Amino acid sequence: MQLENETSDFIEFKVDRKDLAKNLGISKEDNFPEVFATARMIALMEASAAKILIPLLNDGELSVGVEVNVKHLAPTLCGDIVKSTATFVGMEGKLYKFSIEVEDSGGKIGEGTHTRAIVTKDRLMAGANKRVGK
């Protein structure tokens, strides 16, 4: 199966307290706001692109993100629903390229491009283990 250009899909997601920037601090000096975290928005964007690739996966395969280029345009409050829409825009070698937009009840909050690859889980894990000497 091949993807047609402009194939798109979306994921809707309710922003919870765990998704707020305030709760994603790494050090005690971090003081982030109580709005939807950019890191969580990126995860949602990746998930909406990955959803499009599911029909292409064979047993033992999964898709992985290899590049993300995003702009977080507006804050979203806890409890709001965000919708990430990914659109397949073409191939670059074996890489799948996507355009993605995210919106909440007030309009567009994020946009960007994302690249994914299809790999076997075994090969991915073997490479990760080799990198750290396991």
Residue ranges of domains in the chain, CATH in brackets: 8-131 (3.10.129.10)
**Catalytic status, residue 46:** yes
Catalytic residue among 7, 38, 113, 120: 38
**Catalytic status, residue 38:** yes
Burial (Cβ within 10 Å: 0-12, 13-18, ≥19) of residue 26? exposed
pLDDT tens for the chain, residues 1 to 134:
678 889 999 999 999 999 999 998 888 898 999 999 999 999 999 999 999 999 999 999 999 999 999 999 999 999 999 999 999 999 999 999 999 999 999 999 999 999 999 999 999 999 989 898 87
**Catalytic status, residue 72:** yes
Q: Three-class SS of residue 55?
A: helix
Catalytic residue among 46, 85, 101, 114: 46
